[in-house]
A = this chain, B = another copy of it.
Amino acid sequence: MATISDVAAMAGVSTATVSRALNGKSTVDPELVARVLAAAKELGYQPNGPARNLRRQEAAVLALIISDVENPFFTAIARGVEDVAHTVGYSVVLCNADENADKERRYVDVAIQERVAGVIMSPTPDVRNADLLINRNTPLVAVDRPLPDRLVDTVLVDTRLAARQATEHLLAKGYTRIGCVTGPSGVRTADDRLSGYRDALRAAGVRTSPRLVRRTEFRAAGARKAAAELLAHSSPDALLVANSAMATGVLAALGEAGRRPGREVGVVAFDDVAWAELIDPPLTVVAQPAYEMGTVAAQLLLARIADNGRAATTTTLAARLIERGSSHRG
């Protein structure tokens, strides 16, 4: 593979001049620039990234470590990050931690070893992984979930309030025995959604009961089983569901139990998905501004890369309830 020396030899200049011509850092005789460019093209020269990064002590690459590539919420974040990063010449590598602290650890190690310019992550409950980055002063932004007691730029959705509003909406529509299917304990979004749900019930003077709450991983299978149990033993008349994958499980369980969403059991789920309007009745959802979370996170990260001394900020975005048929008795 052609190196900078090959280009220099072909253009009849020094490697320093090639480097300067290609990077435009300092002025070079236009005549020489032309010769260098011609030689580089002729040889199909591509700079050696590792060598460049070794010398520069930084790569124009951001790492984005997300919890689940198969969750549309996180892929939308990824798009937001990419779109911003690309406009300023950074590449984004997407790493799928799969809600698994070991995989997350592995990707954090890769990010450190490859000396990426910065990291955006939706952290697992195991804070030690993020601490690895924090201790090295690697620019870091937490997205979707905060890092407790760590001074780190953070982009969140006010998911507790959103859960409260969703629950209040169900109460307003006349549902009284409202259940909640949320994610694992320790995952902040799961905890917050449960808190918001309880906030609404308490404010309305409705007794909350642990028998109406189920916690499981953020996937369809667990949610299906959880919903089936709730339906069998606790006769809820509505369910608040913490994400879209879980929603498919819950809806499947309703179908099996022969219970119609909306009319018989109200359903509100987090995350607006393409199919929400296709089912009958259409699914009422809490739409999170995922793409925007990605763009904001990327901007924060770029700002921190430019100035690691700036104070850490927390940006909280609002979610939006989209009322559809699954939460109406009519």
Contacts and interface: CB of A to CB of B under 8 A. Distances in A.
A1 to B, nearest CB: 6
A88 interface: no
B280 A113 contact: no
B46 A113 contact: yes
| 8 A-B pairs closest in CB distance | A93-B93, A50-B53, A49-B113, A94-B94, A275-B275, A50-B54, A49-B114, A50-B50
A206 to B, nearest CB: 29
Given A91-B107, A93-B95, A220-B274, 15 more contacts: A48-B115, A49-B114, A50-B51, A50-B53, A69-B79, A78-B96, A82-B96, A86-B103, A93-B94, A94-B95, A245-B274, A248-B275, A252-B277, A252-B278, A255-B278
A75 interface: yes
Interface in A95-145: 95-96, 103, 106-107, 109-110, 112-115, 135-136
Nearest to A72: B70
A76 B72 contact: no
A267 to B, nearest CB: 11
B47 A113 contact: yes
A138 to B, nearest CB: 10
A279 interface: yes
Contacts of A275: 248, 273, 275, 278-279
A288 to B, nearest CB: 15
Given A54-B54, A278-B275, A46 B112 contact: yes
A135 B44 contact: yes
Nearest to A58: B50
7 contacts: A48-B115, A50-B54, A51-B54, A75-B75, A93-B94, A273-B275, A278-B279
A251 interface: yes
Contacts of A72: 70
Contacts of A59: 50
A109 B79 CA distance: 20
Interface in A273-309: 273-275, 277-280
Nearest to A51: B54
Contacts of A48: 54, 113, 115
B46 A278 contact: no
B277 A280 contact: no
A248 B113 contact: no
Interface string A81-94: 01000100001011
A79 B54 contact: no
A58 B274 CA distance: 41
B46 A109 contact: yes
